[in-house]
Structure 1
Amino acid sequence: MAIDIRTQGLKKPVPVAQYLFARLYEIGIRSVHGLPGDFNLVALDYIPKAKLKWVGSVNELNAAYAADGYARALGISALVTTFGVGELSAMNGVAGAYSEHVPVVHIVGCPSTISQRNGMLLHHTLGNGDFNVFANMGSQIACNTARLNNPAEIAEQIDFALRECWIHSRPVYIMLPTDMVEKQIEGARLDTPIDLSDPPNEPEREDYVVDVVLRYLHAAKNPIILVDACAIRHRCLEEVRNLVDKAKLPVFVTPMGKGAVNESSPTYGGVYAGTGSQPAVQELVESADLVLSIGALKSDFNTTGFSYRTSQLNTIDFHSDHCKVRYSEYPGVAMKGVLRKLIERVDTTKLSSEKLAPKVVNEVSENRDSTETITQAWFWPRVGEYFKEKDLVVTETGTSNFGIWESKFPPDVVGITQILWGSIGWSVGAAQGVAQAVKDMGEDRRTILFVGDGSFQLTVQEVSTMIKHKLRVTIFLIYNEGFTIERCIHGMEAEYNDIRRWNYTEIPTVFGATDKEVRKHIIKTKSELEKLLADKDFNDAKGLQLVELWMPKHDAPRALKLTAEQSAKNNARME
């Protein structure tokens, strides 16, 4: 057998795939999502060798959604698809992760370097000899693209890509040719973990920003704190909570930031989303003379159609890669270091807040009517009483994303939504990923999914994966006869917003679940729901539960109606 002189100098030769999957395990990943395809099959053989679990999904889009959910719950995730047909099917899900700052390692098995060099007319290609076209597409939704074509560079490429994925909290794209999968590279590098620490700020610049922030904060009469999505995505929750505990200022979250703050805190004031907020919340936030905005993502659905009435002159923005104090921007000064020093140096005796946070309006009694019909206004405050500490609550784009604003979260509840990208059907795959992450972490926590019937029909197959892996998921399927969020924007009675009625509670059985593996309920009245939510077995169930929840076709949460109205206006603008 011929000796490859390129491997003779290696201290600990290991195959590329073994190296890659060992690194995934090292950074905390325990399960890998994706689908098999002939260009990734040999690589998949190395997954169990790295002590990783292969989840497998029903299609690549669902796998990408699941990887998104897994990363939100555990911190980072991995997705494996095949070249062309597989990766393009996953691209929508990966784009959502990029849009919403979610770290997903997307590994694409592709044709050999020899086939690429010769421009061979292979299946899964466009037939034009261009083997980089899909990687070029993927590079638009990745913070790093690694083409593993040269064994001498592969280990460094992998390590760099994984660090970029973690630091920037966005997807990376790794292109793995079939003839590189078992090439030997230096395994001795595995003895040194990848450095995932955040790059430190330059001390003098950081100190200057902290001093400027303190000057404005100590002088303010009515300062408040507003926490948004990137505080969660860029791992600043400890800093946020320490600041809230020490400063004791009124604190609010945006819809995308829900769950970032302990809602049992006496200073918690509720969800701020411009005109979609409760009036008392809107009044206090917009009358503040200083807003400490942490991790803002001011998208239309996160702000009720850009309806904020806060002034940049009264705002200090903390972001993952810069800070902005009023109209002065400080590039390269990341929020984590600034917040830590701010917590150390803030003089609480100089803090002033003439207004206390309003009482959060989420009591069931305030929304009860005399009928048995389950309305959106009644349901969301009521389901907040069903939640328990450390639940993971996944809400679908539509009524659920907007209704959950009115639910109170107990401490350590994790809210998982996709408000910026807003891909209908995302939540079903994401819930599978979330529940898998919980299982991988060895924790006994409930994953609770709220999804409309229209959205559910797009990605229902992922219920099969939940059954396959015996995951603990409770699904509240809102049956209201179609795409309610679209109806509110345009076409209330339009045929294109209608869907076919399914026998929803029979779906787990079709997917092979036994009566012991799934509990099914059809709930049409408040009384029936009250009885179910009070049932101990329902609250403590360990497997899959599906609740078909009937709500009126034309009913929608107050915030959704306001946002949809503004969205329709934005869509209709001519200039």
Structure 2
Amino acid sequence: MPTDKTQIAQVVASLEAELNRLKHEITTMGVADQVPAATETITVADYILERLKQLNVTDYVEAHPTIQWASNCNELNASYAADGYARVKEGSIGVLLTTFGVGELSAANGIAGSFSEHVPVLHLVGVPSTIQQKTKPMLHHTLGDGRFDAYHKAFQEFVISHGSLTDKVTAAAEIDRVLTECVVKARPAYLMLPTDLVHVQIPKTRLLTPLNTEPPANNADIEGFVLDEIMNLIEKADRDVVILVDACTIRHGVRKEVNELVHKTKFPVYAAPMGKTAVSETYERYGGIYVGTISSPEVKEKVENANLILAIGGVKSDFNTGNFTYHIDTHRVIELHSDNTVVQFASFPGIGMKHLLPKLTARLETLKGDAQQIEVPRFTHPVPQEDNETISHSWLWPRVGQFFKPGDVVVAETGTSSFGVLDVPFPDGAIFISQILWGSIGYSVGSTLGAAIAARDIGLNRTILFVGDGSIQLTVQELSVMMHVGVKPIIFLLNNSGYTIERYLHGKHAKYNDITNWKWTSLLTAFGGTEGETCQSYTVKTKSELSKLLDDETFARADKIQLVEMLMPMHDAPRALRVQAELSGLTNKYTA
């Protein structure tokens, strides 16, 4: 039996977490018992749509007055779009609808990426009837061997919740369970809808009670113990504390709580790459991006020399940590996560940051006088003066940073763009999207579609995409859907003759990293646009040409979809990418 107070608290926390999870599930599944019996009915399909409406979903399903059908070109792109939608429309979810087998497997890569990066997406799959699933005829889209559950089993590996509707009695409860876990745990869910249940009538009763999407409550005694431990460590650290925010700050809905913490306490705050824009980058106590040895020297020095790090929503992946080069000892770290808290070497399951953060802020607010004495380097990235007209990465990213406006949604493709834009300060209210952990090439184009729709829904500013000539070739069809649904992103296409990040990781001069050079400025018209009316394309070859375009008010207004082809050197790359590639090469033994 544990004897140490911390060990006892850990054991109790683990048991309490499981109890809270079960209580939470019972609350969700038992709502029908809390209201009078209802005589009104609704089809299973419409029940799902009404639940989505309650979750503020307004896109991707057709048969509903407030939900728009986006009609993606393929299922993979649809999964990327649903992911981008969910990232921008925080508190809601993305939804995609596919057919059995061939459709759902096409979407699997995107769903796995959403799981990896904590994005709530519902994958709704139309499947054969309940009778056919029992009798197992050799239907199209099946494997031909009677395994009608094979795809369901496959998806269980990368969704947080899954279900198969089997009858009208349990359908509503099963839908609610799957949706609740998707939202609360901020990860994808999978739901099979058989053809013979789509139009079956079920009671409306459960719809009268909204889904319980709040995370489970923390055990008050354990939470108090954890808060005491944190405060003791802060005092032992002479109040020399740095806050480090990361992806799950955004994904698990604690952006508001974190902003109250940093503004009321005045402790310096930095972000990991996946946490970029979790805190306003115009805030005077924000110091920039920390990514291990890849960090700028002043950021690296400030973060790694702090006596204590309060890490919020951390995701310690290779590209998010500078290939695991965080030089911070465990005894100097407190980690807050959605479903647990780690204080040095002790873990407390079930003590989630959503409920913990307001209480921690209240305790720390009295320390703001000391916190304000800690110097924070100003987060800037001036445009360098280069004596040539070549559009280099060192010049490009700070220059386009001057083009950004408050409320812009900036999407960066895996690789060159995502590394280049990291050190560029974003205006207040801007949102950054990039798939840094999963890293599926081509993700950004589909994601831009969903992000632009969500941005339009909630009144954000422009949607701006940075994508390479290699990456866009994987998912380019979605340009047609963007024009079809009326969103108007600005697309900056980096034409550097191939896969730059792959050249740096492996095969700098290999033919497999070369691509066919498309006629890029013909893409929008080829996909249905009318040049000068519904779309506009440009090619820029020099710094002067690009700067002139960026300063053009008509271009900046983004009143039509626009594509800018930028001609850049083949082997040029952002500094951070070059360093990361070198570290990855050493890890993978690609270097001598």
Give the partner amino acid of 2:489.
V
Which residue number in structure 2 is paired with residue 474 of structure 1? 490
Q: 2:254 aligns with which of 229, 236, 243?
A: 236
The runs of 5 or more residues in structure 1 that have no matched partner are 1-8, 34-46
What does 1:181-330 correspond to in 2, within 5 Å? 181-221=198-238, 222-330=240-348
SS at the partner of 2:547? helix
Q: Given that residues 377 and 557 in structure 1 are in contact (C-alpha distance below 8 angstroms), is that contact kept between their aligned partners in structure 2?
A: yes
Paired with 1:196 and 1:210, the residues of 2 have a C-alpha distance of 25
Tell whether the 8 Å contact from 1:224 to 1:249 is kept in structure 2 after alignment.
yes
CA distance in 2 between counterparts of 1:69 and 1:571 reads 31
Match for 1:52: what amino acid?
Answer: I
Deviations 1:45-88 (A, max 9, x none): xx433531111100100000000000101131111000000000
Preserved CA contact (<8 Å) 1:274 1:304: yes
What is the identity percentage for the equivalent residue pairs of Structure 1 and Structure 2?
A: 47
| 1:31–1:55 Cα contact (<8 Å) kept | yes
CA distance in 2, matches of 1:93, 1:215: 43
* Equivalence for 2:379: 360
> Does the CA-based 8 Å contact 2:266-2:371 persist in structure 1?
no
Alignment counterpart, residue 356 of structure 2, candidates 321, 324, 338: 338
Give the aligned residue type for 1:375.
S
Q: 1:65 is matched with which residue?
A: 80
Q: CA deviation at 1:350?
A: 7.1
Aligned partner letter, 1:336: K
1:129 to 1:385, Cα distance in 2 relative to 1, 3 A:
same
What one-letter code is carried by the residue in structure 2 that aligns with 1:51?
T
**Secondary structure of the structure 1 residue equivalent to 2:123:** strand
Counterpart position of 2:98: 81
Candidates 414, 417, 440, aligned match of 1:400: 417
Alignment correspondent of 2:123:
106
Please tell me the root mean square deviation across aligned C-alpha atoms, in Å: 1.5
Question: Which letter does structure 1 place at the counterpart of 2:466?
Answer: F
Residue 352 of structure 1, CA deviation: 4.6
Following the alignment from structure 1 to structure 2, what is the Cα–Cα distance between the partners of residues 349 and 491? 51
- TM-fit CA distance, 1:353: 6.6
Distance 2:382 2:523 in 1: 34
Match in the other structure for 1:492: 508
Residues 267 and 368 of structure 2 are in contact (CA less than 8 Å); yes or no, is this contact kept in structure 1?
Answer: no
Amino acid at match of 1:310: I
**How far 1:218 sits from its partner (Å)?**
3.1
- Asked if the contact 1:220–1:352 (Cα under 8 Å) also holds between the matched residues in 2, the reply is no
Specify the code of the residue in structure 2 equivalent to 1:178. Answer: T
**3-state SS, counterpart of residue 160 of structure 2:** coil
Q: Which residue of 2 aligns with 1:449?
A: 465
Answer yes or no: is 1:433 the counterpart of 2:461: no
Matched, 1:52 2:67: yes
CA distance in 1: counterparts of 2:385 and 2:341, whole angstroms: 44
Partner amino acid, structure 1, of 2:393: Q
Q: How far is the alpha carbon of 1:356 from its aligned partner?
A: 1.0
Q: CA deviation at 1:360?
A: 2.4
Shift of 1:164: 0.6
In the alignment, structure 1 residue 170 sits paired with structure 2 residue 170 = no
Whether 2:475 is the aligned partner of 1:459: answer yes
Partner residue, 2:53: 25
2:439 is equivalent to residue 422 of structure 1? yes
Q: Matched residue of 1:269: which SS? A: strand
Q: Which amino acid aligns with 1:32?
A: Y
Structure 1 residue 336: Cα displacement: 1.5
2:141 maps to what in 1?
Answer: 124
**Alpha-carbon distance, 1:220 to partner:** 2.0
Between the aligned partners of 1:349 and 1:549, the Cα distance in structure 2 is 46
Structure 1 Cα separation of the partners of residues 158 and 290 of structure 2: 29
Aligned mates of 1:217, 1:491 — CA distance in 2: 48
Shift of 1:13: 1.7
> Which residue of the partner structure matches residue 348 of structure 1?
367
- Which one-letter code corresponds to 2:54 in the other structure? E
Aligned length: 550
1:413 is matched with which residue?
A: 430
Q: Distance in 2 between matches of 1:368 and 1:307?
A: 31
Partner SS state of residue 60, structure 2: strand
Match of residue 25 from structure 2: none
- Mapped contact 1:376–1:557 kept (Cα < 8 A): yes
> What displacement does 1:361 show?
4.3
Q: TM-score, normalised by structure 2?
A: 0.91
**Is the contact made by 1:220 and 1:351 (CA closer than 8 Å) also made in structure 2?**
no
Deviation at 1:165, TM superposition (A): 0.6
Shift of 1:139: 1.1
Structure 2 portions without partners, runs of 5+: 1-36
Instruction: State how far apart, in whole Å, the 1-side matches of 2:561 and 2:589 are.
Output: 43
Helix, strand or coil: the match of 2:411?
strand
TM-score normalised by L of structure 1: 0.94
Partners of 2:252 and 2:368 lie apart in 1 by 30
Q: Secondary structure at the match of 1:406?
A: coil
Candidates 527, 549, 567, aligned match of 1:532: 549
Is the CA contact (8 Å cut-off) linking 1:22 and 1:50 kept in structure 2? no
Q: 2:44 matched to which residue of 1?
A: 16
SS at match of 2:588: helix
Instruction: Give the drift of 1:359.
Output: 2.6
Partner Cα separation in structure 1 for residue 43 and residue 66 of structure 2 = 16
The letter for the 1-side match of 2:68 is K
Matched residue SS, 2:356: helix
| Residues in 2 aligned to 1:322 and 1:103: alpha-carbon distance in whole angstroms | 19
Residue 37 of structure 1 corresponds to which residue in structure 2? none
Once the two structures are TM-superposed, the CA of residue 349 in structure 1 deviates from its matched residue by 5.5
Cα distance in structure 2, aligned partners of 1:331 and 1:436? 37
User: Does the CA-based 8 Å contact 2:284-2:378 persist in structure 1?
Assistant: no
